[in-house]
Structure 1
Amino acid sequence: MSVENCDGSLSVSLRNILNSIQCIRDRVRDGESNESDGAFNLSNFWDTLNQAVKAVSQEATKLTLAFSRPPLPSLQDGEKLSESMLKSILTLSTVYYWLPKSQGVTLRRQVRDATVEVLEGVAQLLEVILGSPLGSLTQEQLTSTGGVWSACDQFAQLPKENKGALLVVLSSQTGVVKDAIEEMEQALSEAQDPFNDVLDDDQDEDNRRGNQDTYWSERDRQVISPCRGLMKAAAACMRKLTAAVKANGDVAGPQSVAQLDDLADISRELSPSVDDLALCLYPPMDYSGVENNVSKLAALLKRFLEIIRSSHVCGESELTWVQFLEGAVDHNLQKAKVLIEMDS
């Protein structure tokens, strides 16, 4: 077989495995776990999954080395490399499917996302190899191989049960809420009429700029105060819940696991609602939009606190701050409504 024909056949083999991996990736992204009536050993799952991830990383390295320098592998060796790569991918996806929803939807979502990232990394590596002259090593190949290694390495950092998975969600969402509050605080501290330093001192009062599209009026600032109070209540709720989960979170039974999932789901709703409120507070302020977003965030916080109250993470000490935050939400909601409706 000529060199050109060999190169072409090797490319066909690589293209076939790429198509297979893309199909597997799509199935993992959208597929469901295989629930079984038998006992599930979580420790055994993690041991097997980590072995599968390590195998994928090793196969990706072999593939890069084989096609990055001459001589190219023979057609037979190239097919063996492709088959070995595909086998490692199939093993990884199969082990992922072992993880049942009963271990926690939140945990399963994070394992799924990590698995998909590995599959996407391998698919990208294959695309780079196919797009480069076979037998040459490019910076893009090195980068793509490093991407696969990085995606595989992150499995060691994944939470091992649903309590840890919820804490990952809370950490992420708390950061988003905190950023929204800090940005608003920064804007308020710096805010002024941005054109006041370019207006002539002797300008007639009648000619002074009459709109406030780019800065807050005094009434705007009054309305913002209880809105900030609601946003801070959201941040406090996340902080307090994190501590409660660390202290009381339990994964021993299906009901406790499901409650952790409920907390994760509503936590993911909170940061977008805080962002929506923060964005509508910037000038020019639309009071009807502010009132709508205030009401939405307050309702969400009340529902969040009720879910916390009825969950196993809420003990006697937690009940105190739950009740306090419920009062804070009601107070800021009513105060905001009064200020918005004033003189309207």
Structure 2
Amino acid sequence: MGKRDMERLNTRLSSYMSNIHETLQILDQTPTSSLQKLSWDDVIKIGEQLSKQATTAGMLFTGERTEVKALEENMEAYFNVLQGLLLHAYGSTVGAGPTLTSNVHASIKQAVDCSFMLWRECVSSYGSRNKELKLNVPQRVGTVWEACSALKKTPATNIVAIGRAMTQVAVSMKDVLREMKELEPSSSEPADGADDADDDDDDDDDDFGKDLSPEEMKIAILATQIVSEVVTVIKELIRSITTMVKKENFDETDAVESLEKLLKLCRDVGAQVDELGACLYPPQEHPAITLACEKMSNLTDEMGKILESLNGFTEAFSEGCKTLEKALEMIRLEISNSSVDDAVPQDSSELDVVAPMQNLAVQG
């Protein structure tokens, strides 16, 4: 294959990729409500066509004697299908909230990125005698298959997208909960020998989170209970929404904004759970723990108000919030008592000094 043929293929490829980049800019714009909403099922079907086109491209570009014209025709067909995929995906986002739109964009961007990598590999490998280079093409075809297959797992509605996002928040909270349960009090056993002081720093890393004082351990146990209750609240929130959307009078279009607010509140609670977990390692940060707990209380209260406005408030959610509030109050009291204890002098000589000072009067 001559240099001129390679230039033709590269020029064609650059042109198609430029057009796709321009179309991608459209996806960043919110479609007007007057635009006809397209089905995500159609997007999936176009994705299947793209997979077939990728297979054909892989076979042609790894062949020994394929005419450049045939390659150009295949390239044109592929990018026409890819263009259609982008436009249909855009049409499917009519009435979509930020969460669903973000899911759609991520899936489509993955298909585009894999397509670009495939075609760069195809053009580079065409006519080459480098066997390793040719072996890269089937691998790139595989990534396109995976990207197109992932379209089937992409949420097709706002409800599904928001529900999955809330579930992910709960999963992240469970990770924090698992780490919190691994916190341990410091060992009361004496060191085995003087050589222990010369151990590697890795030993200190292994003991990180295992040297809490009895007082700190009390706080850690109470905090663990709080996070456990928060996970329950999020689960009940998801159940409440699931029950609500099954009602005959439920209108997803009217509810999207409120559901997005609930998701944001979930994520904000998740951020406070992370903060709470980080504050438990010694030395514990009691003011930060108290603040995180206060924010959690306010955030869950706001969740309840939004659920009520959607007529989705349930008794199970209410009970979950009440149990959480009790757990939050317990840690507040423990921290308050701990602060009082810390403020009381324990040394008798110190008490001797403090008592007379309390009786001093400020002279004018």
TM-score by length of 1: 0.80
Amino acid at match of 2:86: S
SS of residue matched to 1:187: coil
1:191-230 alignment to 2 at 5 Å?
192-193=186-187, 197-200=191-194, 215-230=211-226
Which runs of structure 2 are paired with 1:40-119 in the superposition (5 Å)? 40=36, 45-74=39-68, 76-100=69-93, 102-119=95-112
Q: How far 1:175 moved relative to its partner?
A: 1.0
Is 2:30 the partner of 1:33? yes
Q: Which amino acid aligns with 1:115?
A: I
Question: Structure 1 residue 181: deviation in Å?
Answer: 0.0
Shift of 1:149: 0.9
Matched, 1:5 2:4: yes
Q: Which runs of 5+ in 2 are unaligned?
A: 198-206, 344-364
Output the CA distance in 2 between the equivalents of 1:295 and 1:255. Answer: 31
| Candidates 142, 166, 171, aligned match of 2:167 | 171
Computing the radius of gyration over CA atoms, which structure comes out larger, 1 or 2? Answer: 2
Q: Residues of 1 paired with 2:53 and 2:337: CA distance? A: 64
Q: For residue 299 of structure 1, what is the amino acid of its counterpart?
A: N
What is residue 202 of structure 2 aligned with on the other side?
A: none
Partner of 1:206: none
Contact map agreement 1:13 1:79 (CA 8 A) in 2: yes
Q: Which amino acid aligns with 1:63?
A: A
TM alignment of 1:108-147, pairs within 5 A: 108-132=101-125, 134=127, 138-147=134-143
SS at match of 2:95: helix
Moved more, 213-222 or 80-89: 213-222
Q: Which whole-Å deviations, capped at 9, do the CAs of 1:111-151 have from their partners, x for residues lacking one? A: 22211221122122233334545455644332322111111
Is the contact between residue 233 and residue 328 of structure 1 (CA under 8 Å) also seen in structure 2? no
2:204: which partner in 1?
none
> Partners of 1:108 and 1:14 in 2: how far apart?
28
Q: Which residue in the other structure is 2:245 paired with? A: 249
**Aligned-residue RMSD, C-alpha:** 3.2
Whether the 8 Å contact between 1:287 and 1:340 is mirrored in structure 2 is no
Q: Which amino acid aligns with 1:172?
A: Q
Question: In structure 1, what is the equivalent of residue 281 of structure 2?
Answer: 282
**1:160 and 1:138 mapped to 2: Cα distance?**
37
- Ranked by relative contact order (alpha carbons within 8 Å, sequence separation 6 or more), the top structure is 1
Match of 2:357 in 1: none
Given that 1:121 and 1:147 are in contact with CA atoms closer than 8 Å, whether structure 2 keeps it comes out as yes
The superposition leaves residues 4-62 of structure 1 with CA deviations (integer Å, 9 ceiling, x where unpaired) of 3212322332233334434544653xx12311336x55xx5123222222222222222
Residue 36 of structure 1 aligns to a residue in which SS?
coil
Partner of 1:313: 312
Secondary structure of the corresponding residue to residue 183 of structure 2: helix
After the TM superposition, which of the residue ranges 322-331 and 83-92 deviates more from structure 2?
322-331
Could you tell me how far apart the structure 1 residues matched to 2:134 and 2:269 are?
44
Counterpart CA distance in 1 for 2:135 and 2:187 is: 50
SS for the counterpart of 1:160 is coil
CA shift in 2, pair 1:96/1:161, >3 Å:
same
State the AA in 1 paired with 2:329: H
CA contact (8 A) 1:25 1:120 kept: no
Quick one: percent identity of the two aligned structures? 16
Cα distance in 1 for residues equivalent to 2:296 and 2:33: 39
Output the amino acid matched with 1:338.
S
2:339 aligns with 341
* TM-superposition CA deviations, 1:48-92 (whole Å, max 9, x none): 222222222222222222212222431x33332222222112211
TM-score, L = length of structure 2: 0.76
| Among 174, 179, 182, the residue aligned to 1:186 | 182
